Structure 1
Amino acid sequence: MIKVIKIQVFVFICFLILSGCNIANHGSFTSKTYDGAAQSEELVELGAVIGESCQTQFLYLLPIDEGVSTLMAIEQAKQKIAGTVLLADMIIDDTLAIEFGYSEQCIIAHATAMGIANR
C-alpha cells in the first residue's frame, strides 16, 4: 500500500514539473501614466498599439529567451507609432501556451498611443 502511494506521489510530482509551472507576476504598473510636460501641449490620439514580451521554455523548464517583462512590453508598444508621448487606456494581459515539448509565456500591453498634435 505504501509503495502505491509513493508511486502516486512520484507521478503527481512529475506531472507538476512537466506541466509547465511557469508564473510571471507582471504586476499592475505602468512606466508612466501622466506626463506633466506633455500637458502643456494638446495631445491627440495616434492609434491603437500592442507591445509584447515573450519567453519560450524548452521541455517546460529550460528558458530559451530572456524573461518576460511588463516594462519591455510597454516600451515596445510606445515605439510602434513615431511621436508617441504616452499611452492611454492601457490593458496588460498575460498568456501561457503549453505545447508538446515547450511552453511560451507572454505579457501583452494593449493601449492607445497619444502624441502632440502637428501644427
Structure 2
Amino acid sequence: MTSIEECEAAIRNLSSRVAELDEHSRRKHLVERSISVAVPDLEVVFDMRLTSQGISEATTRDAEVSSPPAQVRITVSSTDLVALSEERLDPRKAVLTGRVRLDASFTDLMRMRKLI
C-alpha cells in the first residue's frame, strides 16, 4: 500500500502525461469532465477536473464524505494507481482484469480508450 502523498504525485504525473499529448489529440479526445478516483485501501477519493490542459482542481476527501457523482468514476488500489502513473501497469489490462474499475458513459469510455 502506498501513501496519499504518493497517490497525489501519481495524479500529478498523469496530468503531466495528458499535457504532453499533442494538441490535436487532446482536442479530439478530451472533453472537460469531472473525475473521481476512489482508492479503497486508503479510504480516500480524489476529485478533479480533466481538461485539455490536464488535470485541475484536484482535491482529496475521506471516502465516507459524500459528493455529487463525477461524470467519470475510477476505483483503483493505491499501488495500482502509482503503477499506472509510472507506466508499469498497462491500463487496458488493468481494466480487463478488474484491477481498475471505470464507471462512465459509453461515449466517455470510448474517448478514454483512444487515449490509453
User: Which structure exhibits the higher relative contact order, with contacts defined as CA atoms closer than 8 Å and separated by 6 or more residues?
Assistant: 1
Q: Quick check: which one's strand share is greater?
A: 1
Instruction: Assess same fold via TM > 0.5.
Output: no
